[in-house]
């Protein structure tokens, strides 16, 4: 019988090989009384600086019964991953998926597993060529509007910390993590409380998942941008692309949060769009050593811990100011897809071993904050800050930066400012770039956050801006049940770009669930 055993403590110096003995002791059985075990959860308890330790929960298979249970021991029945039997409605053409980010890749992979042989259309290049394009840009080369940090195989998440955290739990999320682990991801991502892959691992994982998809009969067409929709009598008939016409009676729209030209095309075609809340702010960067000491105290250099993280949220006037996408041991990189605009993001490798920590530091911009109710008003809001940043950076994609001490004193920074941004920086006054609500929140909230971090948050810290692509400012409405656009039958808005996800895992899960809805409705050609 299977039991869940929670709150198993391991000291920082104890190896995981000590778990079976501790599990047996908690269950009141001998060393041979456990048939097998599986880690369900691992987290770091850092509530006290003088008592850091790891806490585990595990599923344990015990032959026979137990004399007593209760407390941290309870019967365990895993939640079952649900997948429907194929529906009956035939498809004239194979499903088309627009975009190969997490939502598009997982929608395609799950449909391919069911025999649908989907076609993925990706405006950018394959991940190998994309890596070369990004490195060329970082070294001072020209921006390729179709192959960059935001467009190309794997989507924006390919160049990120590779965080796999999610606000939710359940079998769908576990299935996504298992698939990623099976594509050369670390096996531990299925149970770590804060799993991450690292930007050095992600290209291989993305390529492996695509090859699995292709082995199941799927096809990917790179450098193929969807430019228009063929709609007749409220139903999708096909897609006009940069490589020609593609007939389709079903398309998953997994375009990502930066496909601004695609938003414009959808609006012209009468597809409903609406503004949604999004985040905008800056990147803050400080020495990683400061964060390690603030979070781990005397254990700050312990090899079992690695680079420390933080997650802060304070009330700053009328808004919340909060950290977002924190990258311990990482770097700041450009988040740019359009010529003449500049934004930032953060990423880190799997080892998280640079001397810098960085995080988004943002406020939420609600539709009511915008100048109009136009569906793309949020995009225009982002673009204004990005355009000002591009101009402040000398029209070269150098990053405008400002020391925190200068920001709080209301003066522009001068001289050399040390940051991890590779392409180059220009000391600036971010007050000339950021919208007033962001400025007010930063001015009110920065010192409050610093007190929460015992003075480590602002010491030697630098601001880079803007951080503008953390989430989509647009939602493409869909029916809660069918997941289709209410205006265009056969069009399935999905993922971050449609406004239904925020991160690798949530986007992948949204793709999986969209595939589930399609499978439940349509007959599989392979069955």
Q: Give 40's DSSP letter.
A: E
pLDDT of the residue at 525: 78
Phi-psi domain of 325 (left: phi exceeds 0; alpha: psi -120 through 50; beta: other):
left
- How many residues would you count in the chain? 527
Q: Please determine whether the domains at 2-75 and 96-273+476-521 fall in the same fold group of CATH.
A: no
> What are the phi and psi torsion angles at 87 (to 5°)?
-75, -170
Q: What whole-number distance in Å separates Cα of residue 264 and Cα of residue 452?
A: 43
At which residue do the structure tokens 């929460």 appear?
452
Distance of CA 228 to the CA centre of its chain: 28
Q: CB of 484 within 8 A of CB of 490?
A: yes
Question: 81-114: buried (b, 16+ CB within 10 Å) or exposed (e) per residue?
Answer: eeeeebeeeebebbbbbbbbbbbbbbbbbbbbbb
Q: Give 149's DSSP letter.
A: S
| Annotation: CATH topology of 2-75 | Alpha-Beta Plaits (3.30.70)
> What are the phi and psi torsion angles at 331 (to 5°)?
-140, 160
What is the value of pTM for the model shown? Answer: 0.96
- The number of CA neighbours under 13 Å toward the Cβ of 360 is 24
- Tabulate helix, strand, coil % of the chain (nearest 5): 30, 25, 45
Q: CB of 382 within 8 A of CB of 468?
A: yes
Q: What whole-number distance in Å separates Cα of residue 119 and Cα of residue 101?
A: 14
HEC string for 445-501 = HHHHHHHHCCCCCCCCCEEEEEECCCCCCEECCCCCCCCCCCCCECEEECCHHHCCC
Q: Tokens at residue 455, please?
A: 């003075």
Residue of 488, 415, 410, 438 lying closest to 320 (CA atoms): 438
Q: Domain map of the chain by residue range?
A: 2-75, 96-273+476-521, 278-467
Would the CA dihedral through 159, 160, 164, 166 be positive or negative?
Answer: negative
Q: Which long-range contacts (CB under 8 A, 24 or more apart) does 181-186 make?
A: 183/208, 183/209, 183/212, 184/208, 186/350
pLDDT of the residue at 31: 80
Furthest C-alpha separation in the chain: 73
Q: Tokens at residue 304, please?
A: 């079992």
DSSP string, 183-204: TT--GGGGTBSS-B--TTTHHH
Superfamily for the 96-273+476-521 domain: FAD/NAD(P)-binding domain (3.50.50.60)
* Sheet containing strand 226-232, strands side by side: 226-232, 235-241, 244-247
Between the two ends of the chain, the Cα-to-Cα distance in Å is: 36
Q: Give the other-Cβ count within 10 Å of 29's Cβ.
A: 17
Q: CB of 152 within 8 A of CB of 122?
A: yes
List per-residue pLDDT tens for the chain, 527 residues long.
899 999 999 999 999 999 999 999 899 888 888 999 999 999 999 999 899 999 999 999 998 777 666 789 999 998 999 999 999 999 999 999 999 999 999 999 999 999 999 999 999 999 999 999 999 999 999 999 999 999 999 999 898 888 898 877 899 999 999 999 999 999 999 999 999 998 899 999 999 999 999 999 999 999 999 999 999 999 999 999 999 999 999 999 999 999 999 999 999 999 999 999 999 999 999 999 999 999 999 999 999 999 999 999 999 999 999 999 999 999 999 999 999 999 999 999 999 999 999 999 999 999 999 999 999 999 999 999 999 999 999 999 999 999 999 999 999 999 999 999 999 999 999 999 999 999 999 999 999 999 999 999 999 999 999 999 989 999 999 999 999 999 999 999 999 999 999 999 999 999 999 999 999 999 987 54
Q: What whole-number distance in Å separates Cα of residue 451 and Cα of residue 464?
A: 21
């Amino acid at each position: 019988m299977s039991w869940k055993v929670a709150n198993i403590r391991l000291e920082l110096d104890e190896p995981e090989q000590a778990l079976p003995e501790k599990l047996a002791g908690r269950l009141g059985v001998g060393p041979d009384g456990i048939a097998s075990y599986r880690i369900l959860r691992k987290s770091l308890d850092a509530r006290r600086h003088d008592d850091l330790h790891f806490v585990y929960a595990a599923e344990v298979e015990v032959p026979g019964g137990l004399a007593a249970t209760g407390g941290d021991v309870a019967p365990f029945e895993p939640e079952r991953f649900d997948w429907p039997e194929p529906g009956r409605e035939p498809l004239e053409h194979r499903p088309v998926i627009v975009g190969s980010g997490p939502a598009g890749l997982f929608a395609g992979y799950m449909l391919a597993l069911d025999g649908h042989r989907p076609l993925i259309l990706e405006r950018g290049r394959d991940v190998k060529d994309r890596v070369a394009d990004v490195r060329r840009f970082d070294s001072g080369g020209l921006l390729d509007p179709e192959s960059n940090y935001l467009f190309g195989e794997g989507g924006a998440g390919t160049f990120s910390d590779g965080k796999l955290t999610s606000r939710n739990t359940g079998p769908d999320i576990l299935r996504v993590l298992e698939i990623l682990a099976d594509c050369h991801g670390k096996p531990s991502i299925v149970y770590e409380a804060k799993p991450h892959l690292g930007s050095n691992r992600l290209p291989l994982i993305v390529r492996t998942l695509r090859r699995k998809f292709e082995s199941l009969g799927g096809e990917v067409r790179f450098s193929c941008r969807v430019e228009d929709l063929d709609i007749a009598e409220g139903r999708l008939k096909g897609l006009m692309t940069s490589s020609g016409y593609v007939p389709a009676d079903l398309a998953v729209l997994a375009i990502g949060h930066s496909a601004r030209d695609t938003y414009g095309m959808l609006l012209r075609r009468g597809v409903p769009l609406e503004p949604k809340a999004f985040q905008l702010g800056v990147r803050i960067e400080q020495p990683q050593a400061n964060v390690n000491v603030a979070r781990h105290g005397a254990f700050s250099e312990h090899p079992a811990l690695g680079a420390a993280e933080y997650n802060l949220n304070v009330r700053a006037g009328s808004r919340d100011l909060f950290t977002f996408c924190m990258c311990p041991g990482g770097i700041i990189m450009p988040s740019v897809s359009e010529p003449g605009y500049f934004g930032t993001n953060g990423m880190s490798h799997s080892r998280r071993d640079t001397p810098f920590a960085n995080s988004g530091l943002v406020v939420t911009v609600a539709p009511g904050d915008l100048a109009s109710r136009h569906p793309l008003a949020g995009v225009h809001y982002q673009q204004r800050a990005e355009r000002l940043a591009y101009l402040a950076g000398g029209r070269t994609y150098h990053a405008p930066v400002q020391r925190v001490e200068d920001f709080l004193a209301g003066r522009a920074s001068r001289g050399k400012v040390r940051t991890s941004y590779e392409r180059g920086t220009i000391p600036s006054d971010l007050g000339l770039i950021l919208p007033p609500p962001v400025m007010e929140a930063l001015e009110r909230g920065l010192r409050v956050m610093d007190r929460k971090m015992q003075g480590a948050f602002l010491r030697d810290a630098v601001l880079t801006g803007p951080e503008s692509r953390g989430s989509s400012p647009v939602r493409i409405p869909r029916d809660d049940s069918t997941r289709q656009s209410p205006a265009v039958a056969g069009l399935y808005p999905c993922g971050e770009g449609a406004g239904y996800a925020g991160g690798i895992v949530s986007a992948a899960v949204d793709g999986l669930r969209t595939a589930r809805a399609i499978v439940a409705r349509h007959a599989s050609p392979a069955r």
